[in-house]
Amino acid sequence: MPSMQDPQTVSPIGRDTPRIDGPRKVSGQAQYTSDFHFPGMLYAMPVCATIANGKIVRLDTSAAEKMPGVRAILHRENIGKIFRSTVQPNFEGICEERRPPFEDDIIRYYGQYIALAVADTFETAKAAADAVHATYSKEKPNVETHLEADDDSDLVLTSFGPRHRLDSHRGDPDAAFASAPVKLDQTYVTPSETHNPMETHATTAIWEGSTLTLYDSSQGVVNYRSVLAQMFGLPNENVRVIAKFVGSGFGDKLFPWTHCPLAAAAARQVGRPVRLVLSRKMMFFGVGHRPRTQQRVRIGATPEGKLLSLQHDYIYQRSILDAHHEDCGEATPFTDSVPNLRVTFGRAQRNIGAGADMRGPGAVPGMYATEAAMNELAFQLKIDPVKLRLMNEPKIDEGLKLPFSSRHLAECLQLGAEKFGWAKRTPAVGSMKRDGMTLGWGMAGCTWLAARFGAAANLQLRDDGSVRVACATQDIGTGTYTILAQLASEKTGAPLDKVEVALGDSSLPDGPISGGSMATGSVVPAVFSAADSAISSLLMVAATTPGSPFVGRKPDELAFEKGTVFIKADGRAKCVPFGEVLQHTKLRLVTGAGRADSTFGDPKAKFSTHSFGCHFAEVTWEPEIARLRVSRVVTVIDAGRIINPLAGRNQIQGAVVMGIGMALLEHTSYDPQNGAPINSSMADYIVAVNADVPPIEVHFLDFPDKVLNEVGARGIGEIGLAGIAAAITDAVRHATGVRVRELPVKIEDLLD
Ligand code: MOS
């Protein structure tokens, strides 16, 4: 007899939901790339160049080859064919370093792979790699920190496609600046920063005939498959990429790097599975970094604070062969209302590995500069910086000349000011004290793009009342397993503990990269349409299959709600849980497939889609002992509907922690003599740790943005890192009187 299943009475969307994969992580059952073991697996260790510019004259592998347990030493002469890859439609085929490993004997950056040792054990592989001896002809590397734009034409090719160096233009910014009664002209510098996820990059490659399986710590298994298929001349279906758990990635794991084909080539050569794990030191060479930037910002304004002209001209460092674009001007055309504007960029080649996206690429260094400039303008005009922003709030996106899908920056500023207690701020330097310490207060706005990548999903309703949802996206620690479960639960009525989530495998329906803060927004419509399709299959089965309590009805006389099927005319009183319908019809499951298109970079978009927010930061300064601490942060984010506020707050808090690092600690320095990253260890590359992190209060507004998807959810992975450094540097200025325009703020900057 049909019986009432406990229907889920409250929607799982918008509720604090602990990660469904949490128990697997804390009990050690979650398998990261290096946790998968295979019979006969060998270990590979790259040999890294110890010069940054020059040529290999001789490579002596004889000692390494003779070591017991060494299976192969791969180099240019014996690696076998690896092809180049190219970008494909639908945001596929992307990688930031196109040159396959060992393609030539030229060294372009310190740490470039020149050989690979393959051995029975990790220790032997390491010893053999150390025993490979290279002789070089050296030239002085160019790692110069002052950036002058190279002589590029206006249209340049970047990793994602061509870009005009005149990026945005309106009105007459030069004339408006020249005649403006108030002027600001400053240059801001952000350093190279290196991604340091807890789990270093790792690849395990296994060949079976002409099929290649790669276990990798990847933020994008589908794109990865496409790149590796190209590099080994295989059809896509012969390559499978698996990333079940990722020990975080900040953009460094978005696209495959050179060690990935290296592991695959080694496995091909020795006919055994091969695992290659990068050392922490190698993380500083060939898996990307946030490039150094130098950004000139010119603002012309009225004495009342109305912007007249804004010019943002930036230069970033790039590698010798590659074309990562650091899009610092991404947010500049639409953040504030200004009739005259110009955004341009230039690039400066250096003997450093390829740059890459790093959490909030482009806009994060970009908004440090533009928001710091707005704070300087407010100071110059003696206007409250919150008021200055409110005064220049645009009605539409003046760059695209499109309405915003949803923009509530003004509400963010008001709520942030109220929660922080901003009204109590006294503007004079050093005028605020607590417990014998000098306080500094600063603030800044932030924004980040919102869009969808194309995504597909499938969803099964099963006879035990459980649901399986599958999509080839990844969970990089942000909570994607849980989001997929929440979405499936919302549509099917199955409680979260009856939803199985499959992701992190390129053999699943194509899913988005975990990047651009776009994974969640992208999977919503794919999962919802997969659920709708599974539900219509179920209703068809219920209406037509012998044994069903509804047999003889037309499918459109039936309805599905809260996990149950019922006759519309009778209402839910006589509903039957979907599991029972399937049992009666002797079906184990019905499956639905769904897909949704990309909106990313859509030239026909009718709306400008972005998230907005602001940060209020407090620092404490003790001049006697030169101690500077961030003591309090309040962040307000307008990111549409938040599907999981618990995970959402985690994301913003994590981003603010990175922002403290960006403002006060993080930078990668390259040795002018040999081009090596000097501080290439966790002892020397300083990131914010628990002791650096104050209470971080996060508030979300709740304005669902239905332009993006049915739930109204925009992304939250990156926006929390935009603007925070400008808020902190202004707080430092308020406390100390010192305006630092080159990150990170160093104690020596603050000593007179
Ligand atoms: Mo993020 S830099 O898009 O991984």
The pLDDT tens digits of the residues spanning 190-233 come to 999 999 999 999 999 999 999 999 999 999 999 999 999 999 99
Kindly state if the Cβ of 697 falls inside 6 Å of ligand 1.
Answer: no
How far is the C-alpha of 493 from the C-alpha of 575, rounded, in Å? 13
Tell me the CA–centroid distance for residue 200 and ligand 1, in Å.
Answer: 16
Tell me the CA–centroid distance for residue 270 and ligand 1, in Å.
Answer: 35
Q: What's the pLDDT band for 89 if we cut at 50, 70, 90?
A: confident
pLDDT, tens digit, 9 for 90 and up, residues 120-157 = 999 999 999 999 999 999 999 999 999 999 999 999 99
| Residue 413: HSE in the Cβ half-sphere, 13 Å Cα cutoff | 22
Task: Output the pLDDT for position 752.
Answer: 74
pLDDT, tens digit, 9 for 90 and up, residues 289-312 = 999 999 999 999 999 999 999 999
Task: Output the pLDDT for position 285.
Answer: 97
Task: Output the pLDDT for position 10.
Answer: 80
Task: Output the pLDDT for position 143.
Answer: 98
Kindly give the number of the ligand 1 atom that is closest to the alpha carbon of 250: 4
Kindly give the number of the ligand 1 atom that is closest to the alpha carbon of 360: 2
| Residue 476: HSE in the Cβ half-sphere, 13 Å Cα cutoff | 31
The count of residues in the chain is: 752
Tell me the CA–centroid distance for residue 253 and ligand 1, in Å.
Answer: 8
DSSP class per residue in 534-583:
HHHHHHHHHHHSTT-TTTTS-GGGEEEETTEEEEGGG-GGG-EEHHHHHH
Backbone angles phi, psi at 191, to 5 degrees: -85, 170
How far is the C-alpha of 636 from the C-alpha of 443, rounded, in Å? 11
Smallest CA-to-CA distance from 676 within 50, 219, 31 is with 50
pLDDT at 583 over 80: yes
Kindly state if the Cβ of 254 falls inside 6 Å of ligand 1.
Answer: yes
Residues contacting residue 683 through CB under 8 Å, at least 6 positions apart: none
Give the position of tokens 């790039």: 318
pLDDT, tens digit, 9 for 90 and up, residues 688-745 = 999 999 999 999 999 999 999 999 999 999 999 999 999 999 999 999 999 999 999 9
Give the position of tokens 């709708």: 532
Q: Please say whether the beta carbons of 571 and 565 come within 8 A.
A: no
Instruction: Give the residue with greater pLDDT, 257 vs 161.
Output: 257
Kindly state if the Cβ of 357 falls inside 6 Å of ligand 1.
Answer: yes
Burial class of 40 by CB neighbour count within 10 A (0 to 12, 13 to 18, 19+): exposed
Strands 340-349 and 166-170: antiparallel
Q: Which residues, in sequence order, are bridge partners of residue 437?
A: 434
How far is the C-alpha of 319 from the C-alpha of 292, rounded, in Å? 11
The beta-carbon contacts of 432-435 under 8 Å, at least 24 apart in sequence, are 432/734, 432/735, 434/620
Looking at the chain, the whole-number percentage of residues with pLDDT higher than 90 is 97
How far is the C-alpha of 445 from the C-alpha of 448, rounded, in Å? 11
Strands 564-567 and 576-577: antiparallel
Task: Output the pLDDT for position 91.
Answer: 85
Q: What letter does residue 286 receive in the DSSP assignment?
A: S
Tell me the CA–centroid distance for residue 356 and ligand 1, in Å.
Answer: 9
Tell me the CA–centroid distance for residue 363 and ligand 1, in Å.
Answer: 12
742 noted as active-site residue:
no
Q: Which residues, in sequence order, are bridge partners of residue 348?
A: 317
Residue 630: helix, strand or coil by DSSP?
strand
- What CA dihedral angle connects 222, 227, 228 and 232, to 10 degrees? 140
Q: Which two tokens stand for residue 397?
A: 């996106």
DSSP class per residue in 330-367:
SSHHHHS--SEEEEEEEEEE-SSPPP---SSTTHHHHH
pLDDT at 631 over 60: yes
Tell me the CA–centroid distance for residue 129 and ligand 1, in Å.
Answer: 32
How far is the C-alpha of 309 from the C-alpha of 91, rounded, in Å? 35
Task: Output the pLDDT for position 697.
Answer: 98
pLDDT at 601 over 90: no
Residues contacting residue 44 through CB under 8 Å, at least 6 positions apart: 116, 117, 118, 119, 125, 262, 263, 266, 274, 275, 276
pLDDT, tens digit, 9 for 90 and up, residues 424-445 = 999 999 999 999 999 999 999 9
Give the position of tokens 């690979």: 116
Whether this model's pTM surpasses 0.75:
yes
Kindly state if the Cβ of 220 falls inside 6 Å of ligand 1.
Answer: no
Residue 403: helix, strand or coil by DSSP?
coil
Q: Which two tokens stand for residue 78?
A: 């014996």
Kindly state if the Cβ of 361 falls inside 6 Å of ligand 1.
Answer: yes
Segment 516-541 mean pLDDT: 97
Tell me the CA–centroid distance for residue 451 and ligand 1, in Å.
Answer: 14
Across 375-506, the runs of DSSP E, i.e. the strands, are 432-434, 437-449, 455-462, 467-470, 499-502
The residue annotated as part of the active site, out of 561, 718, 742, 748, is: 718
Q: Which two tokens stand for residue 679?
A: 């501080």
Q: What letter does residue 278 receive in the DSSP assignment?
A: -
Q: What letter does residue 272 receive in the DSSP assignment?
A: S
H or E stretch at 46: strand 42-48
Q: In what side-by-side order are the strands of the sheet with 455-462?
A: 499-502, 467-470, 455-462, 589-596
Q: What's the pLDDT band for 9 if we cut at 50, 70, 90?
A: low
Task: Output the pLDDT for position 404.
Answer: 98
Kindly give the number of the ligand 1 atom that is closest to the alpha carbon of 358: 2
Q: Please name the residue whose Cα sits nearest to atom 4 of ligand 1.
A: 251
How far is the C-alpha of 92 from the C-alpha of 364, rounded, in Å? 24
Kindly state if the Cβ of 504 falls inside 6 Å of ligand 1.
Answer: no
| Residue 61: HSE in the Cβ half-sphere, 13 Å Cα cutoff | 20
Kindly state if the Cβ of 333 falls inside 6 Å of ligand 1.
Answer: no
Q: What is the mean pLDDT of the chain?
A: 97
How far is the C-alpha of 477 from the C-alpha of 480, rounded, in Å? 8
Looking at the chain, the whole-number percentage of residues with pLDDT higher than 70 is 99
Tell me the CA–centroid distance for residue 251 and ligand 1, in Å.
Answer: 4
Kindly state if the Cβ of 359 falls inside 6 Å of ligand 1.
Answer: yes
Kindly give the number of the ligand 1 atom that is closest to the alpha carbon of 219: 4
Q: Which of 46-55, 597-606, 739-748 has the lowest mean pLDDT?
A: 597-606
Kindly state if the Cβ of 197 falls inside 6 Å of ligand 1.
Answer: no
Probe residue for ligand 1, chosen from 201, 224, 254 as the CB with the greatest number of ligand atoms within 8 Å: 254
Kindly give the number of the ligand 1 atom that is closest to the alpha carbon of 359: 2
pLDDT at 6 over 60: no
Distances (CA, A) of 654 to 190, 274, 694: 20, 34, 12
Q: Which two tokens stand for residue 557?
A: 């006389």
DSSP class per residue in 306-331:
-EEEEEEEEEEEE-SS------TTSS
Kindly state if the Cβ of 219 falls inside 6 Å of ligand 1.
Answer: yes
Q: Which residues, in sequence order, are bridge partners of residue 657?
A: none
Kindly state if the Cβ of 461 falls inside 6 Å of ligand 1.
Answer: no
Kindly give the number of the ligand 1 atom that is closest to the alpha carbon of 361: 2
Q: Which two tokens stand for residue 620?
A: 């404490």
pLDDT at 186 over 80: yes
Task: Output the pLDDT for position 735.
Answer: 98
